[in-house]
Amino acid sequence: MDLSNFYCIGCHACCREQGHVRLKKNEPDAISSFLELAVEKFIAQYTILTKNRTGLSLIEKEDGSCIFLTETGCKINLVKPLQCREFPHGWKFSGFETICGWARQKRYHNPRILKPSSNSK
């Protein structure tokens, strides 16, 4: 899929996928400052040590979605991690095009892709 004209439509599907959101070196400081928390409290409350023990990752909600995803979107959008900002160019999960709102719209509006007819069984 050509991602050259990708833009986020705010469907938050990527935020609902299980998986690690790894934090870069200065991101805990930026996020904790934005949340008006001491960095130590932010780390204790919202992160886990990555499996390879070389960094931190945001924790997930019980359903696998991002801990900072709210009904209205990303609670930390202004300081969200680089991994989130780079989606789907820097990283993407397998099958993202089946749940990403932009990718689904692109597939649906692509005239080369046959749309199922209402008469098909």
Fill in the DSSP letter of residue 66: B
Q: Which of 73, 70, 67, 61 is nearest to 101 (CA)?
A: 73
> Which secondary-structure segment (H or E) carries 57?
strand 56-58
d(CA 103, CA 1): 8
Fill in the DSSP letter of residue 22: E
Domain limits at 88? Answer: 18-92
d(CA 5, CA 84): 17
Q: For the chain, how many structural domains are there in total?
A: 1
66-103 pLDDT tens trace: 999 999 999 999 999 999 988 766 666 677 777 787 77
- Is 29 inside any structural domain? yes
Q: What is the mean pLDDT of residues 23-44?
A: 98
